């Protein structure tokens, strides 16, 4: 009698554990809806990471508003571009050293805000345009995951996205 009670209790606990695992397996959240043009940009951006195309990463990175561009003294815009490109290269090399080669990404969150030119205080400070904040989980060859936060901007609905800023940290 004692052995059968233990068998029933063991079987019951096993069924409860299987049910708990099955119920929590799909708790990663619903799929994130990414605007199609943003998804295309992300695919190109991360393809450049994967293929180690630093020239493409430099082209995708660091937005400078028309107002900011107009404030640069003659000839200094090219110096700014060179220092920006150097920073992109250094960041790419640092991430590759720490995490290895880029393998894949998954979008975790997306938030888009449009700042119309009519919103003078904000448009004067940031520039008008479409701002999209994206958080991705990226996988690397050294078996490290990282969260990549991208702050994207495009000046008009028909223009291309540019990475205005980004941050990178090991996944929790």
Residue 17 predicted with pLDDT over 70: no
- What is the per-residue pLDDT across 87-107, written as a single tens digit (0 to 9) for each? 999 999 999 998 999 999 999
Q: So where are the chain's domains?
A: 29-170
Structure tokens at 55: 């020239």
Dist. CA 152–CA 142, nearest whole Å? 27
Q: Is 134 left (phi over 0), alpha (psi -120 to 50) or beta?
A: beta
Structure tokens at 76: 């200094």
Record the pTM.
0.76
17/34: higher pLDDT:
34
- What is the per-residue pLDDT across 31-49, written as a single tens digit (0 to 9) for each? 789 999 999 999 999 999 9
CA atoms within 13 Å, Cβ hemisphere of 81: 9
Could you tell me which residues are beta bridge partners of residue 152?
A: 132, 163
**Is 146 within 8 Å of 157 (Cβ atoms)?**
no
Instruction: Tell me the C-alpha to C-alpha distance, in Å, between residue 3 and each of 6, 9, 17.
Output: 5, 10, 21
Fold of 29-170: Nuclear Transport Factor 2; Chain: A, (3.10.450)
């Amino acid at each position: 009698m004692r052995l059968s009670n233990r068998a029933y209790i063991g079987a019951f606990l096993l069924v409860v554990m299987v049910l708990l695992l099955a119920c929590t397996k799909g708790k990663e959240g619903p799929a994130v809806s990414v605007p199609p043009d943003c998804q295309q940009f992300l695919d190109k951006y991360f393809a450049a990471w994967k293929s180690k195309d630093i020239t493409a990463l430099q082209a995708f990175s660091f937005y400078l508003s028309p107002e900011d561009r107009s404030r640069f003294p003659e000839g200094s815009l090219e110096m700014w571009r060179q220092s920006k490109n150097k920073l992109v290269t250094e960041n790419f090399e640092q991430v590759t050293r720490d995490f290895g080669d880029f393998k894949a990404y998954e979008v975790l969150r997306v938030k888009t805000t449009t700042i119309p030119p009519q919103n003078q205080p904000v448009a004067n400070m940031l520039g008008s345009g479409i701002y999209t904040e994206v958080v991705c989980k990226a996988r690397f060859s050294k078996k490290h995951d990282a969260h990549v936060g991208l702050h994207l901007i495009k000046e008009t609905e028909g223009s291309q996205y540019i990475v205005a800023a980004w941050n990178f940290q090991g996944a929790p």
